[in-house]
Structure 1
Amino acid sequence: MKLGVVADDFTGASDIALTLSEAGMPTKQFVGVPETTIADRSEAGVVSLKTRTVAVDDAVQQSLAACDWLLAQGCSQIVFKICSTFDSTDDGNIGPVTAALAKRLGERSVIVCPAFPENGRMVFQGHLFVGDRLLNESGMQNHPLTPMKDPDIRRVLARQTSWQIAHVPHQTVSRGAAAIASHIETASDRMVVIDAIDYGDLIAIGAAAKGRRLVTGGSGIALGLPQNFGFTPQSQEWAGAGGKAVVLSGSCSVATRGQVERYRQVAPSREIKIEDVVEKRLSLQELVEWTVKQDVAPLIYSSADPSSVKASQEAFGKEVSSEAIETLFANLAAALSNTGVERIVVAGGETSGAVVSGVAATTLEVGPRIAAGVPALKVGGRPLALALKSGNFGGPDFFEKALSVLETGA
C-alpha cells in the first residue's frame, strides 16, 4: 500500500474510500485494525474506527494502532479522516489525535481542511460553512453528541491542542499548489487550517500535500492525492445483491429526517423510541419477523427531532441512550443478515458503526457512487451489500436510490 487512512467513523471511512477509488486508486476499507498483514493488491487502505466521540486517550491509542498497521503495509502518507462538519468537542478528538499522529510520523506541520464543496462544506477565512450558513447556524449546533457552536476551525482546534494554529487564506490557495506549499513550510510546529471553496482548491491542496507524512481533513482532501502516486480515474464494475433489503436510520440530522419522512410515504416503517429500548419494551425477534415479511424494503428508524432526543437524554443519560440505540441496531443488523437480508441501507455515523460491527464485517469492497460521499459497499466474502450514509448526506430520495444501486449498480 502507498496511502493509508485512519478514519474516525465508518461513514467517513466509506466516504474517503469512494473518493480514492473514483480517482483510480484501488482501495479497500477495513473494519477496525486488522490483526495481521494483508496480502492485498489495494494501493490505499482505509481503517474504519469509531473514535469520534470516545475518550481522548482511547481515540489516540486506537488511531496510533491504525497508523502503525498502515505503515507496516508500506504506506508513505497517512490521512486522518474527520467529518466535513468537524464533529468534535472542546476536549477533542481532532486536535489530540492529529498531534499524536504527527509525533508518531515525525511531521512538524499538518494540513487541516474539512472542506467538501460537493456536499456544501466550504472553509473560508478559517470558518466552516455548510451551504450558505456558518457551521453553528446549519443545524449542527443541535447535534446530540458533538454540538458545533463555533464555526471558526482555528478557535476549535486551539481549544483542543497545545499546538499553534496557522491559516492559509483563499488568496494564497487561489495561486495554486506551489503557493500553498510555500506557506505551509513557514508554519513549522503548527496545524495549518487551509481555506477551500471549490474542487480546484482541493486539487491544489492535494498537490501541495505531496510528500507530506500526515494530512487531516474530510474526504475532499483526498481528491488530489492519488495523482501524486501516479493514479488516474478508472471505470468500476459492480455485482449487486438482489435479496431482501431494509433501511435503518439512527441519524437525527435535518437531511435524514426529511429522507425518513419521504420514504415513510412509500414503504412500511417502524419508529424506535429511546425509552422503549432503554426500558426493554421491544422484541428483537418481533422486529426481525416484521421486517422479513414486508414486500417493500421497510424502514426502521430512530430519527427524532433534537428536542425529543434531548428530553430522552435528560431522562436516561446521554451515554445510556446512545448505547441502547446502537446496541439495538447492531443486534438487529446481525439478526437480519442471518435471516437472508442482503441489502442494508444505514443513515448516521454511529448507527453505521453499530451495523458494521453487528454483521461482523472485517473488510468492505468499495463499489459505485450512490451520492456524494456515499459508495455502495460489499462485505468481503459475503453476499451482503451496505450503504453507510453520514446524517446530512444525500438528496430527499436517498433511500430509494441506495436500494437500487446496491441491487443493480445504477
Structure 2
Amino acid sequence: MDDLLLAFYGDDVTGSTDAMDALARSGIETVLFLDPPNSEAIEREFPDADAVGVAGTSRSMTPATMNDALPPVFESLAALDAPLVHYKICSTFDSAPDIGNIGRAIGIATDIFENDAVPVHAAAPPLGRYVIFGNMFAEDIDDVYRLDRHPTMRDHPMTPMDESDLRRHLSKQTDRSMGLVDVLTVDEGLEETRHELVETVREGAEIVFLDGLDDDHLRTTGGVIWETYGDNRDEPSFVVGSSGFQYALADYWRAAGIVDRTPEFDSLAPVDQLIVMSGSASPLTAAQIDAALDAGFTGVRIDTANLIDPETADAARERAFEDALNALDRGDSVVLYTAHGSDDEAIEETKRRAREAINPPDNVGEFIGDEQGALLRRLLDRTEIDRVCVAGGDTCGHVTPALDVYALQTRFPLAPGSPLCTAHSRTGRFDGIEIALKGGQLGGTDYFVRVRDGTDAWE
C-alpha cells in the first residue's frame, strides 16, 4: 500500500476515533478497523484511504495479555508499508505497570520495528493536553491542572496518576533509558529540535519525549518525527503518542505540501430521537447527562449492583430495557447511564455486591460493558433509530462489537476527539448507522444535545 501515510493502533476505541478525527479534520481520508485489515481488504473497500487504524483495547490489558495480543497487530500494521506505525495512547497518558503498560508495548514493538529510539509525542493542545519540561498538564471543566492534581486522573479507578513527569511515570513500566527534547528547544524550530533529538539518541536514550504547548510546537514536532523516522526510510518506524501526534503530522504535512486538501463534511441534520449509552463516571460526562436531561432526554439508570448479581440480574436487565423502550415509544430521547460522576454511590455499591454475591462475574467492568452492548442492540432492533452515542472508552469497546461493527469513518467532527462516525457493520440493520463514540473526559457539556440536534459548524 504505497499510498498510505500512516498506520496506527489505538489502545481503546474512543482513543482510536480521536486519532481518526484528528486526521479527518485535515482532509486525510482515514478508516478505523476493529480488527487488523490486510492490504487487499483496504484496497477493495477503501481505495482512497490515506491512513488506516485499528481500534484496540490494550489500555485495559495486563502485560501478559499484551505479550499475546500486540505482536500480531504490530506485524499486520508493519506489513501495510506505511512509513510510520503509531501506538496511539490516551491523551492523559493512562497507564500503570499492571494495566495498559506503555513500556511493555514499546518493548514488544522493538522486536518488530528497527527504530534506533522510540519518540513519544504526548502533547495534544487541541484537546487541552500540554507537556512542558516533561510534565503533563490537562484541562478539566473549569481549569488546567498538573496531571497528578487533575480531578479525574488523580482519582482514576484503573490508572490513577500520582506523577506528572512522564519520564518518571513511564520508568515504573520499563527500564529503558529516556531523554527529553524540552519546550525551549522546540521553540527554536524544526532544525534545532531535530538536532537535539538526534543528539539525545546518540547519547543513549532509547525513548525520547517531546514537549508541546501550542500549535506551532505541534507543527515542529510533527515535522521532526516525520523527517527523522518517516520520510525516505525503507522500513516503517514506531512512534508512541496521543492524537496530538496526528494533529502534529497533519499540520506539518499541510505546511510541507505533502497533503493539500480541504476537509468537507455535510452538515449534521437533527434527529427526532437519540439513544445515549454511558459507562463513564467522569465529572464531565455527569455534566453532559445533566444537560441532556435539561434538554428533554429521559434518564434511565442501569442498576449495575443488581446487574452483576446472578440472583437479581434478569430483573435489572429487563427493567432498564423496558424503561428505555417506554420512553422511546413516547417519542423521547434516552440517556442510559451506569454512574453519575465519580462520587456516585452506585460505584461502591457495585463493588460491594461483587464481593458478596454468589458467582459474580470474573471481570465486572467487562461484564457491564457487554450488558450495555446487548441492551443497545435490543433497543435498536425494536426501533428505527439510526443515530446513537456511546460514552466511556471501555464501554465503546464493548458496544461496537455488539453491533457487528468492523470499520468506522468520520461522519462529522462534532467536538475535538469525539466525532460522529459512520459505522460499517456486517449486520444490515446497523450498517451505515451514525454513532458518536466519546471518551469520558471529552466533549462540551452540551455534547449529547448536539449529537441529537445537529449543527452546521464544527470545532
User: Are positions 1:374 and 2:418 aligned together?
Assistant: yes
Matches within 5 A, 1:184-203: 184-188=197-201, 189-203=205-219
SS of the aligned residue for 2:405 comes to coil
For residue 310 of structure 1, report the CA deviation from its aligned partner.
4.1
Measure the CA separation in 2 of the matches of 1:380 and 1:78.
23
SS of the aligned residue for 2:162 comes to coil
Measure the CA separation in 1 of the matches of 2:409 and 2:211.
32
Distance 1:362 1:283, change over 3 A: same
Q: Which has the larger radius of gyration?
A: 2
Asked whether the 8 Å contact 1:288–1:335 carries over to 2, the reply is no
Code of the aligned partner of 1:385: E
**Residues 216-257 of structure 1, C-alpha deviation per residue, up to 9 Å, x if partnerless?**
111111123241681134222348685742011111111111
Asked whether the 8 Å contact 1:337–1:384 carries over to 2, the reply is no
Measure the CA separation in 2 of the matches of 1:319 and 1:135.
31
User: Are positions 1:15 and 2:18 aligned together?
Assistant: yes
Asked whether the 8 Å contact 1:274–1:321 carries over to 2, the reply is no
User: Are positions 1:79 and 2:86 aligned together?
Assistant: yes
For residue 85 of structure 1, report the CA deviation from its aligned partner.
0.6
Of residues 369, 373, 396, the one that matches 1:352 is 396
Code of the aligned partner of 1:283: R
Measure the CA separation in 1 of the matches of 2:83 and 2:362.
37
SS of the aligned residue for 1:47 comes to strand
User: Are positions 1:137 and 2:153 aligned together?
Assistant: no
Code of the aligned partner of 1:216: V
For residue 314 of structure 1, report the CA deviation from its aligned partner.
4.6
Q: CA RMSD in A?
A: 2.3
Measure the CA separation in 1 of the matches of 2:131 and 2:122.
8
Asked whether the 8 Å contact 1:88–1:94 carries over to 2, the reply is yes
Asked whether the 8 Å contact 1:93–1:160 carries over to 2, the reply is yes
Of residues 173, 182, 185, the one that matches 1:160 is 173
Code of the aligned partner of 1:245: L
What residue is the counterpart of 1:257 in the other structure? 286
What residue is the counterpart of 1:293 in the other structure? 329
SS of the aligned residue for 1:401 comes to helix
Asked whether the 8 Å contact 2:26–2:261 carries over to 1, the reply is yes
**Residues 30-63 of structure 1, C-alpha deviation per residue, up to 9 Å, x if partnerless?**
1122377322320100100111011213224433
Distance 1:165 1:379, change over 3 A: same
Measure the CA separation in 2 of the matches of 1:210 and 1:403.
39
The TM-score normalised by the length of structure 2 is 0.83
User: Are positions 1:65 and 2:68 aligned together?
Assistant: no
Asked whether the 8 Å contact 1:113–1:217 carries over to 2, the reply is yes
Structure 1 vs Structure 2: percent identity of aligned residues?
24
Code of the aligned partner of 2:275: V
For residue 112 of structure 1, report the CA deviation from its aligned partner.
1.1
Measure the CA separation in 2 of the matches of 1:36 and 1:350.
28
For residue 20 of structure 1, report the CA deviation from its aligned partner.
0.9
Unaligned runs of 5+ in 1: none
Measure the CA separation in 1 of the matches of 2:97 and 2:261.
38
Measure the CA separation in 2 of the matches of 1:263 and 1:244.
12
SS of the aligned residue for 1:83 comes to coil
For residue 84 of structure 1, report the CA deviation from its aligned partner.
0.7
Code of the aligned partner of 2:248: G
Code of the aligned partner of 2:438: K
Of residues 109, 112, 124, the one that matches 2:132 is 124
For residue 287 of structure 1, report the CA deviation from its aligned partner.
4.9
Measure the CA separation in 2 of the matches of 1:243 and 1:319.
39
Of residues 364, 386, 399, the one that matches 2:448 is 399
Code of the aligned partner of 2:16: A
Distance 1:251 1:233, change over 3 A: farther
What residue is the counterpart of 2:306 in the other structure? 276
For residue 289 of structure 1, report the CA deviation from its aligned partner.
2.6
SS of the aligned residue for 1:187 comes to helix
Bigger Cα displacement from structure 2, 14-23 vs 338-347? 338-347
Measure the CA separation in 2 of the matches of 1:243 and 1:60.
46
User: Are positions 1:230 and 2:233 aligned together?
Assistant: no
Aligned residues: 409
Bigger Cα displacement from structure 2, 12-21 vs 52-61? 52-61
Asked whether the 8 Å contact 2:278–2:392 carries over to 1, the reply is yes
For residue 321 of structure 1, report the CA deviation from its aligned partner.
2.7
For residue 337 of structure 1, report the CA deviation from its aligned partner.
3.0
For residue 135 of structure 1, report the CA deviation from its aligned partner.
0.9
What residue is the counterpart of 1:313 in the other structure? 351
SS of the aligned residue for 2:377 comes to helix
Measure the CA separation in 2 of the matches of 1:403 and 1:57.
41
Code of the aligned partner of 1:323: E
SS of the aligned residue for 2:280 comes to coil
SS of the aligned residue for 2:111 comes to helix
**Residues 99-135 of structure 1, C-alpha deviation per residue, up to 9 Å, x if partnerless?**
2223311112111122221222111121111132111
SS of the aligned residue for 2:300 comes to strand
The TM-score normalised by the length of structure 1 is 0.93
Asked whether the 8 Å contact 2:303–2:316 carries over to 1, the reply is no
What residue is the counterpart of 1:4 in the other structure? 7
Of residues 46, 53, 70, the one that matches 1:46 is 53
